[in-house]
Chains A and B, each alone.
Chain A
Amino acid sequence: MAVRRTQVQTTLNGEETDFLCEPRQSLLEVLRDELGLTGTKEGCNNGNCGACSVLVNGRVANACCVLGVEAENAEITTIEGIADGDKLHPLQQAFLEEAALQCGICTPGFIVSSKALLDSEPELDEERIRFWLAGNLCRCTGYDKIVRAVLKAAGTSDNG
Protein backbone atom coordinates (compact mmCIF):
# COMPACT_ATOMS: atom_id res chain seq x y z
CA MET A 1 0.00 0.00 0.00
CA ALA A 2 1.33 3.41 -0.91
CA VAL A 3 2.08 5.47 2.14
CA ARG A 4 -0.03 8.59 2.29
CA ARG A 5 1.91 11.75 2.86
CA THR A 6 0.46 14.95 4.22
CA GLN A 7 1.40 18.45 3.13
CA VAL A 8 2.38 20.71 6.01
CA GLN A 9 2.89 24.48 5.92
CA THR A 10 5.00 25.93 8.64
CA THR A 11 7.35 28.78 9.49
CA LEU A 12 10.77 27.25 9.97
CA ASN A 13 13.57 29.47 11.27
CA GLY A 14 11.64 32.49 10.05
CA GLU A 15 10.97 31.17 6.52
CA GLU A 16 7.67 29.92 5.17
CA THR A 17 8.30 26.23 4.55
CA ASP A 18 6.18 23.46 3.00
CA PHE A 19 6.99 19.82 3.45
CA LEU A 20 5.44 16.41 2.91
CA CYS A 21 5.52 13.83 5.66
CA GLU A 22 3.82 10.72 6.92
CA PRO A 23 1.58 11.38 9.93
CA ARG A 24 3.54 8.82 11.97
CA GLN A 25 6.82 10.71 11.53
CA SER A 26 8.08 12.77 14.43
CA LEU A 27 9.09 16.37 13.91
CA LEU A 28 12.63 15.20 14.63
CA GLU A 29 12.52 12.74 11.73
CA VAL A 30 11.01 15.36 9.45
CA LEU A 31 13.71 17.91 10.31
CA ARG A 32 16.59 15.49 9.89
CA ASP A 33 15.41 13.10 7.18
CA GLU A 34 13.07 15.21 5.04
CA LEU A 35 14.48 18.71 5.42
CA GLY A 36 18.18 17.91 5.92
CA LEU A 37 18.38 19.97 9.12
CA THR A 38 20.66 17.62 11.03
CA GLY A 39 21.66 20.14 13.70
CA THR A 40 18.83 18.84 15.87
CA LYS A 41 20.11 15.61 17.41
CA GLU A 42 18.52 12.31 18.34
CA GLY A 43 19.53 10.92 21.72
CA CYS A 44 16.88 8.81 23.40
CA ASN A 45 13.91 9.30 21.05
CA ASN A 46 11.54 9.12 24.04
CA GLY A 47 11.50 12.56 25.66
CA ASN A 48 14.18 12.08 28.28
CA CYS A 49 17.40 13.67 26.99
CA GLY A 50 16.53 17.00 25.32
CA ALA A 51 19.04 16.53 22.46
CA CYS A 52 16.17 17.18 20.04
CA SER A 53 15.02 20.44 21.69
CA VAL A 54 13.40 22.90 19.28
CA LEU A 55 11.16 25.91 19.79
CA VAL A 56 7.51 25.44 18.84
CA ASN A 57 5.70 28.79 18.95
CA GLY A 58 8.41 30.10 21.26
CA ARG A 59 8.26 27.25 23.77
CA VAL A 60 10.94 24.59 23.96
CA ALA A 61 9.76 21.07 23.15
CA ASN A 62 11.32 17.71 22.37
CA ALA A 63 11.00 17.23 18.60
CA CYS A 64 10.92 13.45 19.10
CA CYS A 65 7.65 13.85 21.05
CA VAL A 66 5.94 16.07 18.46
CA LEU A 67 4.41 14.77 15.24
CA GLY A 68 5.65 16.46 12.07
CA VAL A 69 2.04 17.13 11.06
CA GLU A 70 1.56 19.14 14.25
CA ALA A 71 3.88 21.78 12.77
CA GLU A 72 1.04 22.99 10.53
CA ASN A 73 0.77 26.79 10.96
CA ALA A 74 3.31 26.70 13.79
CA GLU A 75 6.56 28.61 14.15
CA ILE A 76 9.49 26.26 14.56
CA THR A 77 13.02 27.34 15.47
CA THR A 78 15.91 24.88 15.34
CA ILE A 79 19.59 25.30 16.14
CA GLU A 80 20.10 26.34 12.49
CA GLY A 81 17.96 29.43 13.17
CA ILE A 82 19.79 30.65 16.27
CA ALA A 83 22.76 32.53 14.77
CA ASP A 84 22.23 35.81 12.93
CA GLY A 85 23.81 34.96 9.58
CA ASP A 86 27.52 34.52 10.28
CA LYS A 87 27.24 36.20 13.65
CA LEU A 88 26.98 33.65 16.45
CA HIS A 89 24.28 34.04 19.07
CA PRO A 90 25.78 35.10 22.44
CA LEU A 91 24.95 31.61 23.75
CA GLN A 92 26.91 29.95 20.96
CA GLN A 93 29.82 32.32 21.57
CA ALA A 94 29.73 31.64 25.30
CA PHE A 95 29.62 27.85 24.81
CA LEU A 96 32.80 28.17 22.70
CA GLU A 97 34.58 30.47 25.13
CA GLU A 98 33.69 28.39 28.20
CA ALA A 99 34.47 25.09 26.41
CA ALA A 100 30.97 23.94 27.35
CA LEU A 101 31.01 20.95 25.02
CA GLN A 102 32.96 17.80 24.32
CA CYS A 103 31.31 15.38 21.87
CA GLY A 104 28.71 18.03 21.04
CA ILE A 105 25.67 15.78 20.68
CA CYS A 106 23.80 17.54 23.47
CA THR A 107 24.94 21.05 22.51
CA PRO A 108 22.24 22.11 20.01
CA GLY A 109 19.58 21.04 22.50
CA PHE A 110 21.23 22.96 25.34
CA ILE A 111 21.55 26.09 23.22
CA VAL A 112 17.97 26.03 21.94
CA SER A 113 16.64 25.33 25.40
CA SER A 114 18.80 28.07 26.97
CA LYS A 115 17.65 30.52 24.31
CA ALA A 116 14.05 29.98 25.38
CA LEU A 117 15.12 30.74 28.95
CA LEU A 118 17.04 33.89 28.05
CA ASP A 119 14.18 35.12 25.87
CA SER A 120 11.63 34.75 28.66
CA GLU A 121 13.64 35.58 31.80
CA PRO A 122 16.30 38.29 31.73
CA GLU A 123 17.17 37.91 35.45
CA LEU A 124 18.91 34.57 35.92
CA ASP A 125 20.90 32.81 38.58
CA GLU A 126 22.65 29.47 38.60
CA GLU A 127 19.82 27.64 40.36
CA ARG A 128 17.25 28.81 37.84
CA ILE A 129 19.47 27.73 34.95
CA ARG A 130 20.07 24.30 36.46
CA PHE A 131 16.35 23.82 37.07
CA TRP A 132 15.45 24.91 33.52
CA LEU A 133 18.05 22.64 31.93
CA ALA A 134 17.07 19.52 33.92
CA GLY A 135 15.48 18.09 30.76
CA ASN A 136 18.76 18.33 28.82
CA LEU A 137 21.26 15.58 29.51
CA CYS A 138 25.00 15.65 28.80
CA ARG A 139 27.21 12.60 29.33
CA CYS A 140 30.51 14.45 28.84
CA THR A 141 30.86 17.85 30.50
CA GLY A 142 29.52 17.44 34.01
CA TYR A 143 27.25 20.49 33.44
CA ASP A 144 29.32 23.12 35.27
CA LYS A 145 30.79 24.57 32.10
CA ILE A 146 27.38 24.59 30.42
CA VAL A 147 25.82 26.48 33.31
CA ARG A 148 28.74 28.94 33.31
CA ALA A 149 28.29 29.55 29.57
CA VAL A 150 24.58 30.26 29.97
CA LEU A 151 25.27 32.63 32.88
CA LYS A 152 27.86 34.40 30.75
CA ALA A 153 25.50 34.75 27.78
CA ALA A 154 22.77 36.04 30.09
CA GLY A 155 25.11 38.70 31.41
CA THR A 156 26.78 39.77 28.19
CA SER A 157 23.89 40.22 25.83
CA ASP A 158 20.49 41.72 25.49
CA ASN A 159 19.68 38.26 24.15
CA GLY A 160 18.84 39.44 20.67
Chain B
Amino acid sequence: MQEITYLAPTSLGDVYTALADGKRSVLLAGGTDIIVQLREGRSDAEQVIDLKHIPELTQFAFNSSGDLKIGAAVPFAEIYENAEIIDRLPALIDCATLVGGIQIQSRAGFGGNLCNASPAADTTPALIALGAILHIGSANQVRELPVEDFFLGPGQNALEDGEILLQIVVPNPGSNSAAYFHRFIPRNEMDIAVANAGVSLTLNDARDRIENARVAIGAVAPTTLLVSEAAEALIGKEPGEAAFAAAGDAAANAATPITDMRGSAAQRVHLSRVLTVRALERALKRIEEN
Protein backbone atom coordinates (compact mmCIF):
# COMPACT_ATOMS: atom_id res chain seq x y z
CA MET B 1 0.00 0.00 0.00
CA GLN B 2 1.35 3.42 -1.00
CA GLU B 3 1.88 6.27 1.39
CA ILE B 4 -1.22 8.29 2.23
CA THR B 5 -2.15 11.31 4.26
CA TYR B 6 -5.06 11.18 6.69
CA LEU B 7 -7.45 14.02 7.44
CA ALA B 8 -10.15 14.05 10.10
CA PRO B 9 -12.17 17.21 9.36
CA THR B 10 -14.82 18.33 11.83
CA SER B 11 -17.01 20.28 9.42
CA LEU B 12 -18.52 19.66 5.98
CA GLY B 13 -16.82 22.82 4.69
CA ASP B 14 -13.45 21.31 5.48
CA VAL B 15 -14.40 18.10 3.64
CA TYR B 16 -15.34 20.04 0.49
CA THR B 17 -12.10 22.06 0.72
CA ALA B 18 -10.04 18.88 1.06
CA LEU B 19 -11.85 17.29 -1.90
CA ALA B 20 -10.88 20.28 -4.05
CA ASP B 21 -7.16 20.34 -3.17
CA GLY B 22 -6.07 18.41 -6.25
CA LYS B 23 -5.04 15.22 -4.50
CA ARG B 24 -6.61 11.84 -5.22
CA SER B 25 -8.90 11.50 -2.20
CA VAL B 26 -11.12 8.77 -0.81
CA LEU B 27 -13.72 9.18 1.89
CA LEU B 28 -13.65 6.96 4.95
CA ALA B 29 -16.80 6.00 6.86
CA GLY B 30 -16.55 2.60 8.60
CA GLY B 31 -13.67 1.56 6.36
CA THR B 32 -14.82 -2.04 5.93
CA ASP B 33 -14.72 -1.68 2.15
CA ILE B 34 -12.23 1.12 1.61
CA ILE B 35 -9.49 0.10 4.03
CA VAL B 36 -9.43 -3.40 2.54
CA GLN B 37 -9.34 -1.87 -0.98
CA LEU B 38 -6.49 0.48 -0.02
CA ARG B 39 -4.49 -2.26 1.58
CA GLU B 40 -4.95 -4.62 -1.34
CA GLY B 41 -3.80 -1.91 -3.77
CA ARG B 42 -7.24 -1.59 -5.39
CA SER B 43 -7.31 2.16 -4.72
CA ASP B 44 -4.62 4.64 -5.74
CA ALA B 45 -5.71 7.33 -3.26
CA GLU B 46 -3.13 9.75 -1.85
CA GLN B 47 -5.42 11.11 0.84
CA VAL B 48 -8.01 9.57 3.15
CA ILE B 49 -10.72 11.88 4.51
CA ASP B 50 -12.37 10.47 7.63
CA LEU B 51 -16.05 11.43 7.91
CA LYS B 52 -16.62 10.21 11.45
CA HIS B 53 -16.00 13.55 13.17
CA ILE B 54 -18.72 15.48 11.33
CA PRO B 55 -21.95 15.95 13.29
CA GLU B 56 -24.25 16.01 10.22
CA LEU B 57 -22.92 12.61 9.14
CA THR B 58 -22.78 10.81 12.48
CA GLN B 59 -26.29 11.47 13.81
CA PHE B 60 -29.71 10.03 13.08
CA ALA B 61 -33.20 11.14 14.12
CA PHE B 62 -36.89 11.01 13.24
CA ASN B 63 -38.36 14.39 12.28
CA SER B 64 -41.84 15.60 13.25
CA SER B 65 -43.37 13.88 10.19
CA GLY B 66 -41.89 10.56 11.24
CA ASP B 67 -39.24 10.46 8.49
CA LEU B 68 -35.92 8.97 9.59
CA LYS B 69 -32.76 10.84 8.56
CA ILE B 70 -29.57 8.80 8.89
CA GLY B 71 -26.13 10.41 8.62
CA ALA B 72 -23.95 8.69 6.03
CA ALA B 73 -21.33 7.64 8.61
CA VAL B 74 -23.65 6.16 11.28
CA PRO B 75 -22.69 2.51 11.93
CA PHE B 76 -25.28 -0.27 11.67
CA ALA B 77 -24.96 -1.16 15.37
CA GLU B 78 -26.32 2.25 16.41
CA ILE B 79 -29.30 1.76 14.11
CA TYR B 80 -30.29 -1.73 15.17
CA GLU B 81 -29.92 -0.94 18.87
CA ASN B 82 -32.50 1.87 18.56
CA ALA B 83 -35.92 0.84 19.89
CA GLU B 84 -37.84 3.34 17.77
CA ILE B 85 -36.26 2.12 14.53
CA ILE B 86 -36.83 -1.52 15.53
CA ASP B 87 -40.48 -0.68 16.04
CA ARG B 88 -41.12 1.60 13.06
CA LEU B 89 -38.74 0.41 10.33
CA PRO B 90 -37.99 -3.28 10.95
CA ALA B 91 -36.81 -3.79 7.35
CA LEU B 92 -33.78 -1.63 8.18
CA ILE B 93 -33.02 -4.01 11.03
CA ASP B 94 -33.42 -7.03 8.69
CA CYS B 95 -30.53 -5.82 6.55
CA ALA B 96 -28.37 -3.98 9.12
CA THR B 97 -28.02 -7.12 11.25
CA LEU B 98 -26.94 -9.19 8.23
CA VAL B 99 -24.00 -7.14 6.93
CA GLY B 100 -20.87 -9.03 7.99
CA GLY B 101 -20.52 -9.95 11.65
CA ILE B 102 -20.55 -7.85 14.81
CA GLN B 103 -17.05 -6.48 14.12
CA ILE B 104 -18.22 -5.13 10.74
CA GLN B 105 -21.51 -3.75 12.11
CA SER B 106 -19.67 -1.71 14.78
CA ARG B 107 -18.09 0.36 12.02
CA ALA B 108 -19.90 -0.09 8.70
CA GLY B 109 -23.14 1.66 7.83
CA PHE B 110 -25.77 2.42 5.20
CA GLY B 111 -23.76 5.30 3.69
CA GLY B 112 -20.68 3.21 2.92
CA ASN B 113 -22.80 0.30 1.72
CA LEU B 114 -24.59 2.55 -0.79
CA CYS B 115 -21.51 4.45 -1.97
CA ASN B 116 -19.54 1.24 -2.49
CA ALA B 117 -22.29 0.38 -5.01
CA SER B 118 -21.91 -3.38 -5.00
CA PRO B 119 -24.68 -5.09 -7.01
CA ALA B 120 -25.02 -7.51 -4.08
CA ALA B 121 -25.14 -4.84 -1.35
CA ASP B 122 -27.56 -5.88 1.36
CA THR B 123 -29.02 -2.54 2.39
CA THR B 124 -29.99 -1.30 -1.06
CA PRO B 125 -33.10 -3.45 -1.68
CA ALA B 126 -34.74 -2.44 1.61
CA LEU B 127 -33.88 1.24 1.13
CA ILE B 128 -35.33 1.17 -2.40
CA ALA B 129 -38.44 -0.64 -1.17
CA LEU B 130 -38.90 1.99 1.54
CA GLY B 131 -38.55 4.82 -1.00
CA ALA B 132 -35.46 6.33 0.63
CA ILE B 133 -34.17 9.66 -0.66
CA LEU B 134 -30.46 10.50 -0.62
CA HIS B 135 -29.20 13.95 0.30
CA ILE B 136 -26.03 14.67 -1.63
CA GLY B 137 -23.86 17.66 -0.78
CA SER B 138 -21.12 19.69 -2.42
CA ALA B 139 -19.54 23.07 -1.71
CA ASN B 140 -22.35 24.76 -3.65
CA GLN B 141 -25.56 22.87 -3.05
CA VAL B 142 -27.47 19.98 -1.55
CA ARG B 143 -29.46 17.86 -4.00
CA GLU B 144 -31.87 14.98 -3.49
CA LEU B 145 -31.90 11.70 -5.38
CA PRO B 146 -34.12 8.62 -5.00
CA VAL B 147 -31.85 5.77 -3.92
CA GLU B 148 -32.75 3.61 -6.96
CA ASP B 149 -31.20 6.28 -9.21
CA PHE B 150 -27.90 6.30 -7.31
CA PHE B 151 -26.28 3.28 -8.99
CA LEU B 152 -24.71 3.46 -12.45
CA GLY B 153 -23.02 0.05 -12.48
CA PRO B 154 -20.96 -2.27 -10.29
CA GLY B 155 -18.86 -0.04 -8.00
CA GLN B 156 -20.15 3.13 -9.67
CA ASN B 157 -22.42 5.64 -7.97
CA ALA B 158 -23.94 8.89 -9.19
CA LEU B 159 -21.75 11.21 -7.09
CA GLU B 160 -19.99 13.90 -9.13
CA ASP B 161 -16.50 15.18 -8.31
CA GLY B 162 -16.63 17.16 -5.09
CA GLU B 163 -19.90 15.59 -3.94
CA ILE B 164 -20.48 13.40 -0.89
CA LEU B 165 -23.44 11.50 0.44
CA LEU B 166 -24.76 13.42 3.45
CA GLN B 167 -27.84 11.56 4.68
CA ILE B 168 -30.33 8.87 3.81
CA VAL B 169 -33.93 9.87 4.45
CA VAL B 170 -36.44 7.06 4.95
CA PRO B 171 -39.97 8.45 4.67
CA ASN B 172 -42.56 7.57 7.27
CA PRO B 173 -44.30 4.46 5.85
CA GLY B 174 -47.57 5.42 7.56
CA SER B 175 -50.21 3.01 8.78
CA ASN B 176 -51.14 -0.29 7.11
CA SER B 177 -47.65 -0.45 5.67
CA ALA B 178 -44.59 -2.65 6.20
CA ALA B 179 -41.41 -3.70 4.45
CA TYR B 180 -39.20 -6.77 4.62
CA PHE B 181 -35.69 -7.66 3.45
CA HIS B 182 -34.66 -11.19 2.57
CA ARG B 183 -31.29 -12.62 1.51
CA PHE B 184 -30.08 -16.01 0.33
CA ILE B 185 -26.56 -17.15 1.21
CA PRO B 186 -25.25 -20.71 1.50
CA ARG B 187 -24.23 -20.18 5.14
CA ASN B 188 -26.27 -18.68 7.97
CA GLU B 189 -24.15 -15.53 8.18
CA MET B 190 -21.05 -13.76 6.91
CA ASP B 191 -21.33 -14.22 3.17
CA ILE B 192 -22.13 -12.18 0.07
CA ALA B 193 -25.69 -12.49 -1.21
CA VAL B 194 -26.37 -14.97 -4.00
CA ALA B 195 -29.57 -12.97 -4.38
CA ASN B 196 -31.60 -10.65 -2.16
CA ALA B 197 -34.91 -8.83 -2.20
CA GLY B 198 -36.59 -5.94 -0.39
CA VAL B 199 -40.32 -5.25 -0.62
CA SER B 200 -42.83 -2.85 0.87
CA LEU B 201 -46.61 -3.11 0.94
CA THR B 202 -49.24 -0.53 1.86
CA LEU B 203 -52.85 -1.70 2.25
CA ASN B 204 -56.15 0.18 2.42
CA ASP B 205 -57.78 0.64 5.84
CA ALA B 206 -59.92 -2.50 5.38
CA ARG B 207 -56.66 -4.31 4.57
CA ASP B 208 -58.21 -6.19 1.65
CA ARG B 209 -56.51 -4.27 -1.17
CA ILE B 210 -52.90 -3.31 -1.93
CA GLU B 211 -52.66 0.45 -2.38
CA ASN B 212 -48.95 0.71 -2.92
CA ALA B 213 -46.02 -1.64 -3.31
CA ARG B 214 -42.33 -1.57 -4.19
CA VAL B 215 -40.15 -4.56 -5.01
CA ALA B 216 -36.34 -4.39 -5.36
CA ILE B 217 -34.06 -7.32 -6.16
CA GLY B 218 -30.27 -7.47 -5.80
CA ALA B 219 -27.29 -9.52 -7.02
CA VAL B 220 -29.15 -10.39 -10.23
CA ALA B 221 -28.12 -7.43 -12.43
CA PRO B 222 -25.29 -4.82 -12.58
CA THR B 223 -27.26 -2.71 -10.06
CA THR B 224 -30.09 -3.42 -7.63
CA LEU B 225 -33.34 -3.29 -9.62
CA LEU B 226 -36.60 -1.59 -8.71
CA VAL B 227 -39.06 -3.88 -10.48
CA SER B 228 -42.01 -1.71 -11.49
CA GLU B 229 -43.76 -4.69 -13.17
CA ALA B 230 -43.84 -6.41 -9.78
CA ALA B 231 -45.44 -3.36 -8.20
CA GLU B 232 -48.00 -3.25 -11.02
CA ALA B 233 -48.85 -6.89 -10.38
CA LEU B 234 -49.62 -6.02 -6.75
CA ILE B 235 -51.31 -2.63 -6.71
CA GLY B 236 -55.11 -2.83 -6.68
CA LYS B 237 -55.09 -6.56 -5.91
CA GLU B 238 -56.07 -8.44 -2.80
CA PRO B 239 -52.98 -9.18 -0.69
CA GLY B 240 -52.25 -12.90 -0.86
CA GLU B 241 -50.99 -15.86 -2.82
CA ALA B 242 -52.18 -14.93 -6.33
CA ALA B 243 -50.87 -11.36 -6.31
CA PHE B 244 -47.62 -12.38 -4.63
CA ALA B 245 -47.00 -15.14 -7.18
CA ALA B 246 -47.53 -12.66 -10.02
CA ALA B 247 -45.05 -10.28 -8.41
CA GLY B 248 -42.57 -13.16 -8.05
CA ASP B 249 -42.94 -13.91 -11.78
CA ALA B 250 -42.29 -10.26 -12.60
CA ALA B 251 -39.16 -10.24 -10.42
CA ALA B 252 -37.85 -13.41 -12.08
CA ASN B 253 -38.49 -11.86 -15.52
CA ALA B 254 -36.60 -8.70 -14.60
CA ALA B 255 -33.51 -10.53 -13.31
CA THR B 256 -30.55 -10.72 -15.72
CA PRO B 257 -27.98 -12.45 -13.54
CA ILE B 258 -24.57 -13.90 -14.28
CA THR B 259 -23.19 -17.26 -13.24
CA ASP B 260 -20.28 -17.09 -10.79
CA MET B 261 -18.77 -19.10 -7.94
CA ARG B 262 -21.71 -18.21 -5.66
CA GLY B 263 -24.49 -19.42 -7.91
CA SER B 264 -25.68 -20.02 -11.46
CA ALA B 265 -27.81 -17.58 -13.42
CA ALA B 266 -30.72 -20.03 -13.33
CA GLN B 267 -30.50 -20.38 -9.56
CA ARG B 268 -30.47 -16.61 -9.17
CA VAL B 269 -33.58 -16.17 -11.33
CA HIS B 270 -35.32 -18.79 -9.21
CA LEU B 271 -34.17 -17.06 -6.02
CA SER B 272 -35.47 -13.68 -7.20
CA ARG B 273 -38.93 -15.21 -7.46
CA VAL B 274 -38.81 -17.11 -4.17
CA LEU B 275 -37.28 -14.28 -2.14
CA THR B 276 -39.79 -11.77 -3.53
CA VAL B 277 -42.77 -13.99 -2.65
CA ARG B 278 -41.48 -14.77 0.83
CA ALA B 279 -40.59 -11.15 1.55
CA LEU B 280 -44.13 -10.12 0.50
CA GLU B 281 -45.65 -12.77 2.78
CA ARG B 282 -43.56 -11.53 5.69
CA ALA B 283 -44.27 -7.87 5.02
CA LEU B 284 -47.98 -8.72 5.03
CA LYS B 285 -47.53 -10.56 8.31
CA ARG B 286 -45.88 -7.46 9.78
CA ILE B 287 -48.89 -5.36 8.79
CA GLU B 288 -51.29 -7.91 10.27
CA GLU B 289 -49.36 -8.04 13.54
CA ASN B 290 -49.47 -4.28 13.94
- Which residues of A sit under 8 angstroms from B5, Cβ to Cβ? 4, 23
In chain A between 1 and 43, which residues have their CB closer than 8 angstroms to a CB of chain B? 1, 3-4, 6, 22-24, 26
**Main secondary structure on chain A at its contact with chain B?**
mixed
Q: Are A60 and B106 in contact (CB under 8 A)?
A: yes
Known contacts A46-B40, A113-B103; A72/B35 CB under 8 A: no
A48-B190, A61-B103, A134-B190 are contacts. A72–B77 as well, Cβ < 8 Å? Answer: no
Contact A50 B4 (CB under 8 A): no
* A136 x B101 contact (CB < 8 A): yes
Closest to A134 in B: B189
Q: How far is the CA of A59 from the CA of B74 in the complex (A)?
A: 14
* Total chain B interface residues with beta-carbon distance under 8 A: 30
Report the minimal beta-carbon distance from A26 to chain B, rounded to whole angstroms: 7
Within the complex, which residue of A45, A64, A72 is in contact with B8, where a contact is CB–CB below 8 Å?
A: A72
Query: In the complex the two chains form, is B106's CB within 8 Å of A6's CB?
Result: no
Question: B102 near A113 (CB under 8 angstroms)?
Answer: yes
Bound Cα distance from A4 to B4, whole angstroms: 9
Query: A56 on the interface (CB 8 Å rule)?
Result: yes
Is B54 engaged at the interface, CB distance under 8 Å to the other chain?
Answer: no
Interface residues contributed by chain A, number (CB under 8 Å): 35
Query: Contact at A47–B104, with CB atoms within 8 Å?
Result: yes
Contacts A47-B104, A60-B103: A23 and B6 contacting too (C-beta < 8 A)?
yes
Residues of B97-141 at the interface with A, using a CB-CB cut-off of 8 Å, are 100-104, 106-107
B32 within 8 A of A: yes
Contact of A62 with B by CB under 8 A: yes
Provide the residues of chain B in CB contact with A72, threshold 8 Å.
8
Query: Interface 1/0s, chain B 1-12, versus A by CB < 8 A?
Result: 111111010000
Q: Does B103 contact A69, Cβ atoms closer than 8 Å? A: no
Q: Are B104 and A70 in contact (CB under 8 A)?
A: no
Decide if A151 is an interface residue (CB 8 Å cutoff): no
Task: Give the CA-CA distance A26 to B188 in the complex, in Å.
Answer: 29
Q: Which residues of B contact A45 (CB under 8 A)?
A: 39
Give per-residue flags for B251-280: 1 if the beta carbon is below 8 A from chain A beta carbons, else 0.
000000000000000000000000000000
In the assembled complex, 9 residue pairs joining A and B whose CB atoms fall closer than 8 Å, in A order, are: A4-B5, A26-B35, A47-B100, A59-B75, A62-B104, A69-B8, A113-B103, A133-B101, A135-B104
Interface residues of B (CB under 8 A from A): 1-6, 8, 28, 31-32, 35-36, 38-40, 48, 50, 52, 75, 77, 100-104, 106-107, 188-190
A residues touching B (Cβ–Cβ < 8 Å)? 1, 3-4, 6, 22-24, 26, 45-48, 50, 53, 56, 59-62, 64-67, 69-70, 72, 113, 116-117, 131-136
